[in-house]
């Protein structure tokens, strides 16, 4: 199984901040990495697929990068709607998710 | 746009079978890979399995011995059966489309909470 580890597990930030969340795979997954945003009581929402492709309708302040084992999700300027939990997910071998990063208001 | 709606009992007794249905609208059930994913309260996401072409399935090895996913094309529904449940199977269960070639989960249902308790 491929394990996905996100860091940090939680993060406090302010509106307007630039935020980066990291996801590390236990072995190389090429670019088979997706990012989701989940708000309380809601289903996850796809933000980024194939490591760096922005899903249609997702604001351009979200971006993804990386390949192999190390990936990042960056929010260039936090907006109030962005406070949520973020998950990475690999699709190189079966499908596994990271444990999540909870982004809270400072 | 595809819309998904999960339904089923909210309470299941230990050792019994959890049965859920996902109703599909806005798209052909034959055109997608369909997945089930679950999330225990306050925890992360776990992929359960998928079905495509109305019959080809792949399951999470950790659940494979207890899971069956099927599709009823006439009813545009997919179903999930999880046998011999325990409290560890308590979770919100989601159905979702799985889109290739990079296999991301695109459209999701709103989820349904299933509690395993006597």
pLDDT in tens, B43-94: 999 999 999 877 899 999 999 999 999 998 777 899 999 999 999 999 999 9
Dihedral through CA A106, CA A20, CA A93, CA A28, nearest 10?
Answer: -140
CA distance B117 to chain A (A): 21
Question: DSSP letter at B9?
Answer: -
CA distance B78 to chain A (A): 18
B2 at interface of A, judged by CB pairs closer than 8 A: no
A94 contacts in chain B (CB < 8 Å): 47, 58, 60-61
Instruction: Say if residues B80 and B16 touch (Cβ distance below 8 Å).
Output: no
pLDDT in tens, B4-54: 999 999 999 999 999 999 999 988 877 789 999 999 999 999 999 999 877
């Amino acid at each position: 199984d491929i394990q996905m580890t996100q860091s940090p597990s939680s993060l406090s930030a302010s509106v307007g901040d630039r935020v980066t969340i990291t996801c590390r795979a236990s072995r190389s997954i090429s670019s088979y990495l997706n990012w989701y945003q989940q708000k309380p009581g809601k289903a996850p929402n796809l933000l980024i697929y194939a490591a760096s492709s922005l899903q249609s309708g997702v604001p351009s302040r979200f971006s993804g990068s990386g390949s192999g084992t190390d990936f990042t999700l960056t929010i260039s300027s936090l907006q109030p709607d962005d406070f949520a939990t973020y998950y990475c997910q690999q699709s190189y071998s079966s499908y596994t998710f990271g444990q999540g990063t909870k982004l809270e208001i400072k | 746009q595809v819309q998904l709606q999960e339904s089923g009992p909210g309470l299941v007794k230990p050792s019994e079978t959890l049965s859920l249905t996902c109703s599909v609208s806005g798209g052909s059930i034959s055109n997608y890979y369909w997945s089930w994913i679950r999330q225990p309260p306050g925890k992360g996401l776990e992929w359960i399995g998928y079905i495509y072409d109305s019959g080809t399935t792949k399951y999470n090895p950790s659940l494979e011995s207890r899971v069956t996913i099927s599709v009823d094309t006439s009813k545009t529904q997919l179903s999930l059966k999880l046998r011999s449940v325990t409290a560890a199977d308590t979770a919100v269960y989601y159905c979702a489309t799985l889109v290739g070639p990079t296999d991301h989960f695109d459209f999701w249902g709103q989820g349904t909470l299933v509690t395993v308790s006597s």
